[in-house]
Structure 1
Amino acid sequence: MAGSGPGLARQDVRFEPDERPPLPMAAGLGVQYALICLASIVLTPTVMITVAGGSTEYLSWAVFAALVISGVTTAIQARRVGRIGAGYVLIMGSTSAFIAVSVTAIEQGGPGMLAVLIIASSLVQFLLASRMALLRRVFTPTVAGTVLILIPVTLTPMILRKLAEVPAGAPTATGPLVAGVTLAVTVLVPLRFSGALRLWAPALGIVAGSLVAGLGFGIYDLSTVYEARWIGLPDLAYPGLDLSFRPEFWALLPSFLMVTLVSAMDTLGDAIAIQRVSWRRPRAIDFRSIQGAIAADGAGNLLSGLAGTVPNTTYGVGIAVAELTGVTSRAIGICVGVVFAAFAFLPKLLALIIAIPGPVVAAYFIVVVALIFVFGMKILLQEGLDYRNGLVVGVAFWLGIVFQFDWIYPEHITGAWEEFLGNGMTVGGITVILLTIFAEVTGGRRLRLKTRLSDDTWSEVDAFLVKFAARRGWDEEMETRLRAVGEETMQILGRAEAETDADDARSLLLIASSDGPAADLEFIATTDEKNVEDQLAMLSEVAAGVPVEAETPLRLLRHYASSIRHQQYHDIDILTIRVESAPQVAGDF
């Protein structure tokens, strides 16, 4: 059960989201955030376009557009526009998850087809944001984790190509030494040091590798840097939109949708993490903020597609900086957005990053894909790898690998099917989703009660829970606990209903399922009630400000339930309560 006493208050949070730090501090942190993330934002489109054989003009335009859009979406995440934006400091930037599928799209259909694929996939994020509550059983952390651990598999061919990307006539040791220095610095610095130096490890690795490449082997070509202007706009190389919808488009669309799902899950994780580090006193997770973060992610990808550049996503490094500095004010997000947009008008700085040699970039992305794999495994382990989940993940991961490298019946997979099944993320993602849906459909039958919140609703709920306990063959003690949980929950949900006009009566959906000797109850309704988990945490405080008559249902619910989770979405609340037959000591009554 979520809850926190006053002793859990964090003393290292200097400025909460609603507070405003001094302008010099906000501006300084904005520059720091931007510099840490700049290399990733610029290198992602650089790798994608150079590997795919795109023009220099298109590359310059894509980098410019990526920086501007990263700035706009970072500001939207902080400021929140309507239901778009998290309301927290979430740094947005180019995502490496799309590199493999984007390279294939450019090679087969050009930048115009890539732009349309990005626009189409962005609509999925808007759908996920608006229907997150309904899709919570299908698009699970197991799905996201499986697709994440397949991203390194799909990026491996690209990394190998960049490792060997050295000028003709260069010594044979050039690639290995340059990549080795970059990798060593990027890995060893965070292993040896902590704090701010660890956050700068990727940038230090790139600088070290570039120095070896330029001073030691002369493969860092700075001619474009000398020619670039200090301030200005790139040549207009907008690729346009290819609306022909050729077979290549439909073959690649599932891959883009799979990666978009992963991006949404990544954003979900970052939106949860930033909430954890932003407040002095722990709060329950606000899923409305997560919906806003995913919607902003979708808006960023929509803008990226329209502008002809790479998709973007949230950057977890921003969360590390927020935790390190203790400054989580929304003003920081606005400053970061302004700095990103300003960098877009500095062609010489961008040319310096674009010219970074291939082995340096490859070594940098080795660390990136390694962290992506670990992040995926963390999600899977946090979700729990029981026999069923382990079987689903194992089968999906194996199929993703063998189809990615054409190890299974390549002679039978040709034409459009070759493009469709030749991407490990597509095969693995579809596999895990289909197996998840199968497990959900064939699982234990759930009982449902759909009614309206009113003074008479309790009798319906009570009768429903009695029927549910009888069908499961539970004893009188378990039935009593279920009925007590139902009664106290209805009192809590009924508070907002008491202030609602009869014509605006809210609906209630109660879903009951069993997990061995335990019962899981989901109360789905629309309320204006404060988060129940936060209210339970307040019960431990001496002066919580909660009226005595309002405390009683909360205390009783905490006594009878073994766990309580309140998920608040836009227009709907889901109160999930687990009830076990054995008494649970969850707190003093």
Structure 2
Amino acid sequence: MAGRKPSNLAFGLDDRPPLSVVLILAFQHTVLILMFIAYPLIVAAGAGFSPEATRHFVTATIFAMGVGTILQSWRRFGSGYLLIHNPNPIHIPTLIQAGSVGGPALIATLGLFSAAVQASMGRIIRPLRRLLPAEVCGVTVTMLGVSLIVPGLDRSLELSADRAAFQSDSLLVSAVTLTLMLSVAIFAKGTPKLFALPIGIGAGWLLAIAMGHDGPTPSGSIASLPWIDLPLSLPGFAFDMAFLPAILLGAFIAAIDTLGLMISVQRMNDADWRRADLAGVSRGMVADGTSCTISSVLGGMPTHISSSNVGLAFATGATARVIGMAAGIMLVVAALCPRVAATATMVPQPVLGAIILYSAAYLITSGMELILSRRLSERRVFTVGLSIIAGISLLVIPLVFRGLPPSIAPFFGSPLSLAAITALCLNLVFQIGISRQAQLAMPVGENPFLVVHEFLDRQGELWGARRDVIIAASRTTALAVEAIVEAGLAREAVRLDVQFDETHLDVVVAYEGIPLERPTAQPAPESLLGDERDIGRYVGWTLSQLSDSLTLRSDGERQAVTIRFEH
């Protein structure tokens, strides 16, 4: 179920924008994602496919991307979020070699193995909840944006192969496109803000044409393409054990990326986000694997969720799932009409670079916000800092990571993968020595509000608990202790037992004396002037209103009041 819509979204998850708005927003997602059919083209060229085999390989991939996008947007099957599928670039080296050896049949078989890994990860995701605190998720979102910087700059500047020179006209086109996008997004009011990208793309494209800057696909080649091309020619299947380890490792890395992307969209669609909805993540991974299966069976390339389109969705302020449905349908149409897909790929590279940089800015700041939503102890500071350093190092000094053994090379394939895996590992290592339980014997005569606040504040910083949860727990627990002591319900000192995990914070107030009660209706205020049991009923009712749940246990004189706060 969708949470409260953030203020920066014009159209949230369950909103239904006007049809014209849906079509325009879906079209810009479709245009952006069709830029990435360069991936299957690279595989086909490297594997030496014939023109007919290449066309079928690309068509089947686009068709599966469209179906996968529809499945992701359908919350009864997929994640229920606006997530667009694209060809998975992590498999490119393996697929080129496999295609050279066994042709489309071997690629199809390896794709099915990749699909199985992606779908099965969705079934075992729930036990991983403790591995995904806010700082790990925040690192993933931040590095998702950082990982888009290099491809964005490459396209904006059209750098030479040795990165020693760039095209000045490309820089101008990209700068004008980005400036216009930002101007509309920041200064425009109402509906025009949604169309910042189409306006910038249109202006940038016209400027590129005026400067003689051609798109990546020459217009003359479109006429040679068929109007209709159905991806129904099955490739057959073949198997070669030599390629299995690489494809399985790549699929695992892709699943980690998918996990980070889905948590990103959950966080940015819910203003009150607390933790990952693992049921939604699980469905999304199954939908991911299903799309990959369809592509492989039809003879295409394994698919994956597009990080660029995630950034685009939040940059435009429109994340309605109906937009994903429309974009999926457009991709299916594009697969059936190759001339449509080819036309979309003619967007100039500098314009595409501006779009990617525009999206990256949103993702980076969203990740930082997520990281800072929790208290940062020294352990968490180093988890975040070292993980981001690891990811950025791959961008700054890529030569260091070349020549790695094939068994571990995929882990260093992208800044996002390296940073996410580093964060997961450091989070596990830094948990050593941290107890998830703490006890406190309340000093007699001390102010319970000061003692409880200092105790829970210290533990909250150590555990990385949310600030608002610690504040609420401190206030309610101190109120319980003061009421129990002042009303004479406790015959001896009160003890606090606190337990924390990523889903909730439990505070147990233990004492010997008269038990609290939890009435179904609010007691009259005059009960505070009654005997101890009248006061106990009023205190029990008050605590039930100030916490997410209240459990009262009594064993003779020994009482335990468990106050739960959802985290």
User: TM above 0.5, one fold?
Assistant: yes
Which one-letter code corresponds to 2:499 in the other structure? S
**2:499 aligns to what SS in structure 1?**
strand
> Are the equivalent residues in 2 in contact too, given 1:31–1:339 (CA < 8 A)?
no
After the TM superposition, which residues 502-541 of structure 1 pair with which residues of structure 2 at under 5 Å, given as runs?
A: 513=499, 520-521=505-506
Q: CA deviation at 1:374?
A: 3.2
> Are the equivalent residues in 2 in contact too, given 1:147–1:425 (CA < 8 A)?
yes
After the TM superposition, which residues 257-276 of structure 1 pair with which residues of structure 2 at under 5 Å, given as runs?
A: 257-271=252-266, 273-274=268-269
Instruction: Give the match for residue 158 of structure 2.
Output: 164
Which one-letter code corresponds to 1:146 in the other structure? V
Instruction: Give the match for residue 146 of structure 1.
Output: 139
Q: CA deviation at 1:119?
A: 5.1
1:45 aligns with 2:42: no
**2:130 aligns to what SS in structure 1?**
coil
Question: CA 1:105/1:140 → structure 2, altered by over 3 Å: closer, same or farther?
Answer: farther
Which one-letter code corresponds to 1:140 in the other structure? P
What CA distance in whole angstroms lies between the structure 1 residues aligned with 2:424 and 2:11?
A: 42
**2:228 aligns to what SS in structure 1?**
coil
Q: CA deviation at 1:93?
A: 1.4
> Are the equivalent residues in 2 in contact too, given 1:148–1:372 (CA < 8 A)?
yes
> Are the equivalent residues in 2 in contact too, given 1:181–1:209 (CA < 8 A)?
yes
Which one-letter code corresponds to 2:136 in the other structure? V
> Are the equivalent residues in 1 in contact too, given 2:109–2:237 (CA < 8 A)?
yes
After the TM superposition, which residues 330-479 of structure 1 pair with which residues of structure 2 at under 5 Å, given as runs?
A: 337-403=328-394, 406=397, 413=404, 421=412, 423-446=414-437, 472-474=440-442
> Are the equivalent residues in 2 in contact too, given 1:118–1:256 (CA < 8 A)?
no
What CA distance in whole angstroms lies between the structure 1 residues aligned with 2:311 and 2:408?
A: 38
Indicate which of 18, 23, 26 corresponds to 1:34.
26
Which one-letter code corresponds to 2:172 in the other structure? L
Q: CA deviation at 1:50?
A: 4.9
Instruction: Give the match for residue 94 of structure 1.
Output: 85
After the TM superposition, which residues 215-230 of structure 1 pair with which residues of structure 2 at under 5 Å, given as runs?
A: 215-217=210-212, 219-220=214-215, 221-229=218-226
Instruction: Give the match for residue 78 of structure 2.
Output: 85
1:488-511, Cα deviation, whole Å (9 max, x unpaired): xxxxxxxxxxxxxxxxxxxxxxx9
Q: CA deviation at 1:233?
A: 1.2
What TM-score comes out, normalization by structure 1 length? 0.60
What CA distance in whole angstroms lies between the structure 2 residues aligned with 1:475 and 1:59?
A: 77
What CA distance in whole angstroms lies between the structure 1 residues aligned with 2:170 and 2:431?
A: 49
Question: CA 1:254/1:154 → structure 2, altered by over 3 Å: closer, same or farther?
Answer: farther
1:292 aligns with 2:288: no
Q: CA deviation at 1:399?
A: 2.5
Question: CA 1:352/1:334 → structure 2, altered by over 3 Å: closer, same or farther?
Answer: closer
Question: CA 1:46/1:236 → structure 2, altered by over 3 Å: closer, same or farther?
Answer: farther
What TM-score comes out, normalization by structure 2 length? 0.62
Instruction: Give the match for residue 244 of structure 1.
Output: 240
What CA distance in whole angstroms lies between the structure 1 residues aligned with 2:119 and 2:322?
A: 26
What CA distance in whole angstroms lies between the structure 2 residues aligned with 1:48 and 1:133?
A: 33
Q: CA deviation at 1:222?
A: 1.0
1:74-119, Cα deviation, whole Å (9 max, x unpaired): 44345444xx334x5x3331359x54x3454455655968767765
> Are the equivalent residues in 2 in contact too, given 1:69–1:303 (CA < 8 A)?
yes
What CA distance in whole angstroms lies between the structure 2 residues aligned with 1:409 and 1:218?
A: 36
Per mean C-alpha deviation after superposition, the further-off stretch among 351-360 and 252-261 is 252-261
**2:131 aligns to what SS in structure 1?**
coil
Which one-letter code corresponds to 2:158 in the other structure? A
What CA distance in whole angstroms lies between the structure 2 residues aligned with 1:295 and 1:223?
A: 40
Which one-letter code corresponds to 1:182 in the other structure? T
Q: CA deviation at 1:393?
A: 1.7
**1:577 aligns to what SS in structure 2?**
strand
Question: CA 1:193/1:305 → structure 2, altered by over 3 Å: closer, same or farther?
Answer: farther
Q: CA deviation at 1:43?
A: 1.2
Q: CA deviation at 1:392?
A: 0.9
> Are the equivalent residues in 1 in contact too, given 2:91–2:247 (CA < 8 A)?
no
Per mean C-alpha deviation after superposition, the further-off stretch among 257-266 and 409-418 is 409-418
What CA distance in whole angstroms lies between the structure 1 residues aligned with 2:43 and 2:182?
A: 25
**1:344 aligns to what SS in structure 2?**
helix
Question: CA 1:361/1:80 → structure 2, altered by over 3 Å: closer, same or farther?
Answer: closer
> Are the equivalent residues in 2 in contact too, given 1:259–1:425 (CA < 8 A)?
no
How well do the aligned residues superpose, as a CA RMSD in angstroms?
5.3
Indicate which of 204, 209, 214 corresponds to 1:209.
204
Q: CA deviation at 1:42?
A: 0.7
What CA distance in whole angstroms lies between the structure 2 residues aligned with 1:437 and 1:268?
A: 19
**1:521 aligns to what SS in structure 2?**
strand
Q: CA deviation at 1:336?
A: 5.3
What CA distance in whole angstroms lies between the structure 2 residues aligned with 1:198 and 1:152?
A: 21
What CA distance in whole angstroms lies between the structure 2 residues aligned with 1:13 and 1:408?
A: 43
**2:372 aligns to what SS in structure 1?**
helix
Which one-letter code corresponds to 1:93 in the other structure? I
What CA distance in whole angstroms lies between the structure 1 residues aligned with 2:44 and 2:407?
A: 20
Which one-letter code corresponds to 2:349 in the other structure? G
Question: CA 1:207/1:28 → structure 2, altered by over 3 Å: closer, same or farther?
Answer: closer
What CA distance in whole angstroms lies between the structure 1 residues aligned with 2:271 and 2:59?
A: 33
Structure 2 unaligned segments of length 5 or more: list them: 453-472, 481-496, 509-537, 551-561
Q: CA deviation at 1:316?
A: 4.6
1:530-587, Cα deviation, whole Å (9 max, x unpaired): xxxxxxxxxxxxxxxxxxxxxx9996554453x679xxxxxxxxx993499xxxxxxx
**2:201 aligns to what SS in structure 1?**
helix
Aligned length: 462
1:30-64, Cα deviation, whole Å (9 max, x unpaired): 53342131112211233674599557767654654
Q: CA deviation at 1:242?
A: 7.0
Indicate which of 542, 558, 564 corresponds to 1:577.
564
Q: CA deviation at 1:232?
A: 0.8
Instruction: Give the match for residue 312 of structure 1.
Output: 305
Q: CA deviation at 1:138?
A: 0.7
Question: CA 1:380/1:303 → structure 2, altered by over 3 Å: closer, same or farther?
Answer: farther
Indicate which of 93, 99, 123 corresponds to 1:130.
123
Which one-letter code corresponds to 1:232 in the other structure? I
> Are the equivalent residues in 1 in contact too, given 2:257–2:417 (CA < 8 A)?
no
Question: CA 1:14/1:126 → structure 2, altered by over 3 Å: closer, same or farther?
Answer: closer
Identical columns (%): 19
What CA distance in whole angstroms lies between the structure 1 residues aligned with 2:375 and 2:225?
A: 52
Which one-letter code corresponds to 2:33 in the other structure? I
What CA distance in whole angstroms lies between the structure 2 residues aligned with 1:183 and 1:411?
A: 33
Bigger Cα Rg = 2
Q: CA deviation at 1:349?
A: 2.1
Q: CA deviation at 1:422?
A: 5.8
1:500-532, Cα deviation, whole Å (9 max, x unpaired): xxxxxxxxxxx96269xxx92399xxxxxxxxx
1:182 aligns with 2:177: yes
Which one-letter code corresponds to 1:226 in the other structure? A
Q: CA deviation at 1:223?
A: 0.9
Structure 1 unaligned segments of length 5 or more: list them: 447-467, 486-510, 524-551, 566-574, 581-589
